[in-house]
Copies of this chain bind each other. A is one copy, B any other.
Amino acid sequence: MTYCMGLLLQEGLVMVADSRTNAGVDQVANFRKMHVWESPGERMVVLLTAGNLAISQGVVGVLNDGLGMADGPKQTPMTAATMGDVARLVGGAVRAVEHVDGPSLRAHHVDFDFTAIVGGQIQGGPLRLFLVYSAGNFIESSPETPFFQIGENKYGKPILDRVIRYGTNLADAAKCALISMDSTLRSNVSVGPPVDLLVYRRDALRVATRQSLAENDPYFAEVRAAWSSGLRSVFSSIKNPPWDIGAQ
């Protein structure tokens, strides 16, 4: 499986993805689920994918080759005029892969399993974040719902629900996303490092930082250890139930 999240905040964007894929427990491998199209000073687009790896790679392939939209010339995330066009392009790429591979997958009783998060900014336009479904349709984030998750999203949702608001700063958001990833890594073996993390500051039109965090990355390890020991001390500080539960 996979766990990816995209957070669109007042200050900018935080995108995080694990990199484990598995086709059965004896075929576990690492593949990058984060794809970046950047022309510094002009555009920064980042895509996170979850689901069937062949579909995901097919979608990225179609995006790089370019796709004709509404009878116009072929477009890629490097040439699309707006982030709305980028979202439509990703949706179109999903439909193109479904058109080619869908019937064979159905014949083999394989679900067409794919979701993506795509976000970024193109010169002259706003920073936007979209969640694209396997049908190629999509929704956009809003200040009230500033993050999207795909894949194994439930383990890591409580901490995002507690901490992430539209006004959360980028440093806190990156820290929180790593804690959310940590909770998922601990509870689900199908999600694994390295963890890809990208931070984008609104209107910069270039990536602020992009990190690939191995299990032994010093900062990631410190966050995980501090969170774990902090949780334990909060847990210990909460008083015991007041009910009589019999003799010790």
Contact = CB atoms under 8 A, between A and B. Distances in A.
Interface string A132-160: 00000000000000000000101101110
Contacts of A169: 248
A100 interface: no
Contacts of A163: 232, 235
A209 to B, nearest CB: 4
A154 B237 contact: no
Interface string A53-80: 0000000000000000000000000000
A215 B109 CA distance: 45
A212 B238 CA distance: 20
B186 A245 contact: no
Copies, count: 2
Given A245-B199, A246-B201, A176 B231 contact: no
Q: Provide the main secondary structure of the chain A interface.
A: helix
A108 to B, nearest CB: 23
Interface footprint category on A = 35 or more
Given A158-B155, A186-B158, A175 B208 contact: no
Contact of A161 (B187, B235, B248): B187
A155 B209 CA distance: 30
A245 B170 contact: yes
A231 B162 contact: yes
Contact of A243 (B157, B211, B245): B211
A243 B227 CA distance: 19
Given A241-B171, A242-B219, A244-B209, A235 B155 contact: no
Interface string A98-121: 000000000000000000000000
19 contacts: A11-B248, A154-B187, A158-B183, A158-B184, A159-B231, A163-B232, A163-B235, A169-B248, A174-B241, A208-B245, A208-B246, A209-B243, A209-B245, A211-B243, A222-B238, A227-B235, A230-B234, A230-B238, A233-B234
Given A158-B186, A172-B240, A231-B234, 9 more contacts: A155-B157, A162-B232, A163-B235, A175-B240, A204-B246, A208-B245, A209-B243, A219-B241, A222-B238
The 3 A-B pairs with the shortest beta carbon distances in the complex, nearest first, are A230-B234, A154-B154, A158-B183
